[in-house]
Structure 1
Amino acid sequence: MVVLSRAELLRNGIGRGALSRRVRSGSLHRLLPAVYSTTPPSYEDRCRAVVLWKPAAVLSHDTAAWLWGLLEVEPVTVHATVPPSDSYRGPDWSVLHRRRISTVVYRDLLPVVTAEQCFVDVATTLDTEALERFVDHALTRRVRWRAVAQACDAARGMHGVPAVREQLRRCCPRTLSEPERLVARALARRNFPLEINGEVGPYYGDLVDRRGRVIVEIDGREFHIDPHTFTRDRVRQNDLVLSGWLVLRYSVATVMAQTDEVVDQIVTEVRRRRRARA
């Protein structure tokens, strides 16, 4: 796949008439004004086309997040940011935002905003549920919490900053599965956060409350079905109970179908244990 400008094609000896004929025949694809591709374009090809079309453009929002590996699903729309004075009229698959960008970095030779700026950008394009998932996964894998907080300070006044600050207050990184993350998030929304993947002696708990000595475990069937794992789990459970811990265990199916009920029980039992231990 090659993305080329009209000027490059003309320099390569393709005349204007031949260029038009190739577009009509399908051997060339017109992506943007004066930008073509030699085969049907991929998403990344469209990113390169936007940068070729607007040399001052910097890929941003969902596009930059995907290029940084912070979004698991490839976006449909190519987002880029151009200087405030720029004018444009592109196809439906591209959106250009106007603002000045102070820091530009490169991913696969493409200009993009920083990974931290992606948080502020996608807060204006993702719904609340998708933004929660994005923040939790990104802080788990690639980006430091403090760096995102600093980016919010630097971007003070931008539209997405309040939403990102709220996410930083309630984020739940380091969860090992989506059901664990859903429970941790539900608890955080109730201002009742528990420690995630807390170390308890030689073991780790999915969610841990040390004041009440409560551990919450969310079990996926595929991880507990073989005899060795089954036996090891019983040994672990007995050790924790004999050490004074209450272990609440829920299946993935129960968590996904009855999240509110699960969280209600966790909050009730943790509070009861805290009062009893006090």
Structure 2
Amino acid sequence: MGSRGCTSGRHGQAWPVTAYRRDELLRNGIGKGALEHRVRTGRLHRVLPAVYCTRPPTYEDRCSAVVAWKPKAVLSHDTAAWLWGLLVPEPEVVHATVPMFTSPRCPPGFRLHRRVVEPVVYRALLPVVTQEQCFVDVATTLDAEALERFVDHALSHRVRWRAVAELCDAARGMHGVAAVRRQLRTACPRTLSEAERQVARALSARHAGMEINAAVGKYYGDLVCRRARVIVEIDGREFHIDPHTFTRDRIRQNELVLDGWLVLRYSVARALAHTDEVADEILAVVRKRRKSRA
């Protein structure tokens, strides 16, 4: 059959090429009858029309298969975001974007979108949209809550806020841009837990954004308002279990209080179960402190 080698997977591991077009197999000396026999006996698996895989296809194999099926296809939306490491878990559907004149019809488990894609980059030797374009793409596939998590995570680790904003300016009018613009206005990157992220988002929605994981002297605060000198801490269970952590944290809090900071503490459980209540309480304290300090 021959081999086209292997590519580098999304995390750098070897990713063998296992998707082959029917004409490739025939050119390599496999007759039509032998090809059908291999399909019947499970040695080849039909993934897409005239595209076969040498093993039960994984998600990576399906990505390779759609590019083999539509040579001008570019992996996009949830698929590109997953390949870039911006989206977890693995999507159920393989998304690709094809030229405008291409039919979008495809089998279940695949979805084709139509538009002009520029620029095209490569991930694991497969054509994909840029990381910034992923923001606009997934804004059309994810619900509002999932999109919030995606934006906060991606801006925390991989993508610059300004780069996404510049793409939105250049792609004005594209479906998904308006949703991404709204997300950029309220994004809360660099949070270290889901509880922190939700509280930070709630404060941002109330136009009371606070610095996230900001340095305060030799310490860091989960959420910090310097003008009010308020620090908000979202505590996990370790602060109630580990004696060393508990003692060290009390020393830290005493030093901050003596330096004029007010430290508000909330458990992860309360922050997640009563996010709006927690955010309203923080906002009231911050406003009061700002007014008194003014």
TM (norm. structure 2) is 0.92
Tell me how far apart the structure 1 counterparts of residues 60 and 168 of structure 2 sit (CA, whole Å). 28
Q: Deviations over 1:85-131 (max 9, x none)?
A: 11243211010000001200000000000000000000000011000
Instruction: Give the count of matched residue pairs.
Output: 278
Q: Which amino acid aligns with 2:29?
A: G
The correspondence of residues 131-210 of structure 1 with structure 2, limited to 5 A, is: 131-210=147-226
Matched, 1:234 2:250: yes
Identify which of 98, 103, 121 aligns with 1:105.
121
Tell me how far apart the structure 1 counterparts of residues 231 and 200 of structure 2 sit (CA, whole Å). 12
Q: Deviations over 1:160-209 (max 9, x none)?
A: 00110111110000111111001000111111111111211111110011
2:5 is matched with which residue? none
Call closer, same or farther: CA 1:261–1:110 in 2, change over 3 Å.
Answer: same
Matched, 1:12 2:38: no
Q: Deviations over 1:26-74 (max 9, x none)?
A: 2211111110011110001000000000000000000000000000210
Tell me how far apart the structure 1 counterparts of residues 270 and 136 of structure 2 sit (CA, whole Å). 34
Tell me how far apart the structure 1 counterparts of residues 80 and 199 of structure 2 sit (CA, whole Å). 29
Classify the secondary structure of the residue corresponding to 2:38. Answer: helix
Which structure 1 residue ranges, 5 or more long, are not aligned? none
Q: Which amino acid aligns with 1:201?
A: G
Tell me how far apart the structure 2 counterparts of residues 193 and 224 of structure 1 sit (CA, whole Å). 28
The correspondence of residues 6-155 of structure 1 with structure 2, limited to 5 A, is: 6-155=22-171
> In the alignment, is the contact (CA less than 8 A) between 2:63 and 2:94 conserved in 1?
yes
Q: Which amino acid aligns with 1:104?
A: V
TM (norm. structure 1) is 0.97
Tell me how far apart the structure 2 counterparts of residues 248 and 100 of structure 1 sit (CA, whole Å). 50
Identify which of 268, 271, 274 aligns with 2:284.
268
Which structure 2 residue ranges, 5 or more long, are not aligned? 1-15
Q: Which amino acid aligns with 1:217?
A: E
The percentage of aligned residue pairs carrying the same residue is: 73
Shift of 1:227: 2.2
What do you get for the CA RMSD once the two structures are aligned? Answer: 1.1
> In the alignment, is the contact (CA less than 8 A) between 2:76 and 2:97 conserved in 1?
yes
Tell me how far apart the structure 1 counterparts of residues 143 and 226 of structure 2 sit (CA, whole Å). 34
Shift of 1:224: 5.6
Q: Which amino acid aligns with 2:27?
A: R
Q: Which amino acid aligns with 1:14?
A: I
Tell me how far apart the structure 1 counterparts of residues 144 and 106 of structure 2 sit (CA, whole Å). 28
Matched, 1:251 2:249: no
Tell me how far apart the structure 2 counterparts of residues 159 and 271 of structure 1 sit (CA, whole Å). 38
- When structure 1 is superposed on structure 2, of 173-182 and 5-14 the one drifting more is 5-14
Tell me how far apart the structure 1 counterparts of residues 198 and 260 of structure 2 sit (CA, whole Å). 27
Tell me how far apart the structure 2 counterparts of residues 218 and 45 of structure 1 sit (CA, whole Å). 42
Call closer, same or farther: CA 1:147–1:17 in 2, change over 3 Å.
Answer: same
